[in-house]
Structure 1
């Protein structure tokens, strides 16, 4: 769930109470080794959440992949501890509360407090899966999902006009980078000029994975264009006919010349038929005079 503006005072009051409780617990702890166990509770909660969350996401990715009907060539997912934002900050806050309860339970030897810390940690893992954002690219499609069990969106690579990797500084605080945070994401510009913004993640760690997805999409576009140009009449521009192949066109002057030639042939035939036949020549030899 995402916090609304009206709930910010309540969240601030809760944060103050949590900090006060943490300070009071530190003041009650008598020895240095007890404070060490309290710090160990935070480290334990963060480590368990990261390990279990990553394992569950890997299992779900293999069981229910984003791409259907084709293997996933590349992809990335949002980092929880390196991506600032209200959605990730709430998950990290719940993990820290679980670490506080675990540390107090171990320090005070109270099993109920430690059990409450484990229960809060389970809630944090479930919320992490519910808000899990991931991206995958197959041979012909780009897939992305905002939350496990939510709708899987798909974009055809042939409908993508161009692709860009957006990288910006991000305000906020994270456990991994403090206040020096950078986020990156993929922006897909479609043929109808719509822009599809994919989930963002930690640029310090996941920029290479985002660039890999972008390069995969570009290579598939180039391959599709090359295959289209090889098809008959695919992408080749129409060529003008050569001079030898231009069909002859009859003009009025040509028609008049042909008519005159036909008239002259008729006159020759009529003249030849009207001429009298020549007399036969006597070829007999007369005897010589004596």
Structure 2
């Protein structure tokens, strides 16, 4: 009983000491937290606030409250629906290919072969190029009659005449996906390579002693271990792919027609070409909700993987 009484008496004192110890940490973290809130929470709230108004940059004084009018209109807007649909196709197509190619490249780079370090460094070149420069370069390479891609395909006898890659909706979308794959596959490969380098060697040695084949080692040892790294790469790349603007703006500008129109380009056109700020804010807010719905389960799964480690 005396021991229990002593513990009960000491508990508030321990909590008080703990709160005093945390006070300096809270004071030191406060400026960073306030700065983070100012650059994240405030723009989010302002975006939501603006979406309930009819506001045009050409006539700012005519700002009027319309409630959910912008949201009702965007679900009937063919351009908005097309932009969201194209964004889903582009994001999942590009990220899916990047994950496959990135895994294969990471497995190759993980081998102790001569020249692997030089190849790893060269892989960083696409990531180091300014996105608009990369997009315009690809546009030049794909556009006949001066584009190198069609020219050399014709010289090699693969095609009879140069292909207008950006002339049809399907080929233009594939070109956009190819540009994103070229640009960001090295990023995925480097993340997965880091995971491969941190694999437990005792499991690999045990599998080798037991006579496991390479594909069995990959399926039952390597792939489960890489799960968290794959989730990290998928989350980061999905977020960036959904926000893609420079690539589509520089390569196709949404064309031909609206076949490659992405949600980011829709927001840009509504806000800075049509000057419908309130309407653009509503589109951006729905776009943010859609992205959150897709990425939240992945982030939750990643947290669970880290917790269960």
TM-score, normalised via structure 2 length: 0.23
Structure with greater helix share of residues:
2
Larger radius of gyration: 1
Structure with greater strand share of residues:
1
TM-score, normalised via structure 1 length: 0.24
More contact order relative to length (CA 8 Å, sep ≥ 6): 2
